[in-house]
């Protein structure tokens, strides 16, 4: 998928021909821009309002949460809501559980998808075509079909309420899409790189680790970011698998908070804001990988 086309040089070239056309062109370019802001700015405000409103509510005293008309700016900014939010429920436990799942899953997914992708793209072995076909089919399989039998299976082998069902399936078979992505990327790399190393007697492991991986930093980053995002946001599968609150993730913790008491909205919003911060930070740090990843996957945030 072509991501970006170079700015049109023909426009510049023809504009340079006569001074009159420069002005006309500039005017024509200004007009749509004004229109752009006129139409898009209000919409951007509408899209941003819910997130701004969460922050506003998170800083309100309880009495102002339900006020009519809506109080947009709290009369007294209460930072203490944040302290109260993370002490009223075991937020630190939820955060460290989530961090564990995210870090382990992301590491395993990056390793396994690049290994399998390398094998499918670069190594010749019997059965490779079949395995690749299975990867493509797995990619299209809606995960909901296997939820019930998978739960029963994990129950039988004692994996329920552990992190294994959250980590292992998604970083192996569940990584089908990332495997596909890696395979496409590896297929495009020049073969000379590998052949020279082979003649020098390098093993497949060394070629994968020392030659191939360093060449695919951006793809690995994309896979890592989307895997981390998926595990951080995942709700349904942890809800089914994890039963003891000690093992809850942040997403389950937020749900527990909502179920506990509906008069704590200011604290719930403080907790939500805290939960959003790492994602927003990640987005701003790695924005180009997000955009690149959406171009490649189209599945972000689902």
Q: Closest approach of Cβ 302 to other proteins, in Å?
A: 5
Q: Closest approach of Cβ 247 to other proteins, in Å?
A: 16
Q: Which is nearer to other proteins, 188 or 262 (CB)?
A: 262
Please state, in angstroms and rounded to a whole number, the distance separating the CA atoms of residues 138 and 132.
10
Maximum separation of any 2 CA atoms in the chain, in Å:
79
Q: Closest approach of Cβ 43 to other proteins, in Å?
A: 7
Q: Which is nearer to other proteins, 214 or 298 (CB)?
A: 298
Q: Which is nearer to other proteins, 89 or 250 (CB)?
A: 250
Q: Which is nearer to other proteins, 187 or 287 (CB)?
A: 287
Instruction: Please give the C-alpha separations between residue 164 and each of 48, 185, 232, 238, in angstroms, as whole numbers.
Output: 37, 29, 16, 11
Q: Closest approach of Cβ 101 to other proteins, in Å?
A: 14
Going by the DSSP 8-state scheme, the letter that residue 6 receives in this structure is: P
Q: Which residues contact 167 (CB under 8 A, 6 or more apart)?
A: 101, 104, 105, 108
Q: Please say whether the beta carbons of 139 and 180 come within 8 A.
A: yes
Q: Closest approach of Cβ 59 to other proteins, in Å?
A: 15
Q: Which is nearer to other proteins, 96 or 129 (CB)?
A: 129
Q: Closest approach of Cβ 138 to other proteins, in Å?
A: 6
Please state, in angstroms and rounded to a whole number, the distance separating the CA atoms of residues 130 and 114.
18
Give per-residue burial for 176-191: e unless 16+ CB within 10 Å, then b: bbbbbbbbebbeebee
Q: Please say whether the beta carbons of 89 and 256 come within 8 A.
A: yes
Q: Which residues contact 141 (CB under 8 A, 6 or more apart)?
A: none
């Amino acid at each position: 998928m072509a991501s970006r086309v170079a700015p049109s040089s023909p426009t510049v070239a023809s504009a340079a021909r006569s001074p009159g056309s420069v002005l006309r062109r500039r005017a024509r370019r200004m007009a749509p821009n004004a229109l752009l802001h006129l139409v898009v700015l209000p919409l951007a405000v509408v899209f941003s309002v819910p997130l701004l409103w969460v922050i506003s509510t998170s800083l309100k005293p309880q009495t102002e949460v339900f006020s009519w008309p809506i109080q947009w700016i709290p009369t007294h900014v209460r930072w203490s809501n944040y302290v109260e939010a993370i002490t009223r429920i075991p937020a630190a436990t939820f955060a460290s559980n989530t961090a564990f799942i995210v870090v382990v899953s992301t590491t395993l997914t990056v390793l396994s998808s690049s290994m399998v992708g390398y094998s499918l793209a670069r190594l010749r072995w019997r059965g490779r075509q079949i395995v690749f076909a299975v990867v493509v089919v797995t990619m299209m399989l809606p995960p909901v079909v296997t939820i019930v039998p998978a739960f029963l299976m994990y129950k039988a082998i004692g994996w329920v309420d552990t992190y294994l069902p959250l980590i292992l399936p998604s970083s192996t078979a569940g990584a089908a899409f990332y495997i596909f992505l890696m395979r496409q990327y590896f297929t495009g790399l020049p073969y000379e790189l590998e052949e020279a190393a082979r003649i020098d007697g390098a093993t497949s492991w060394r070629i994968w680790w020392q030659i191939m991986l360093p060449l695919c930093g951006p793809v690995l980053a994309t896979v890592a970011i989307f895997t981390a995002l998926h595990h951080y946001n995942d709700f349904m599968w942890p809800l089914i698998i994890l039963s003891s609150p000690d093992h809850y993730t942040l997403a389950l913790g937020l749900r527990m908070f909502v179920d506990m008491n509906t008069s704590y909205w200011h604290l719930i919003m403080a907790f939500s804001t805290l939960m959003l911060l790492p994602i927003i930070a990640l987005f701003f740090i790695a924005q180009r990988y997000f955009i690149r990843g959406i171009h490649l996957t189209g599945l972000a945030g689902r």
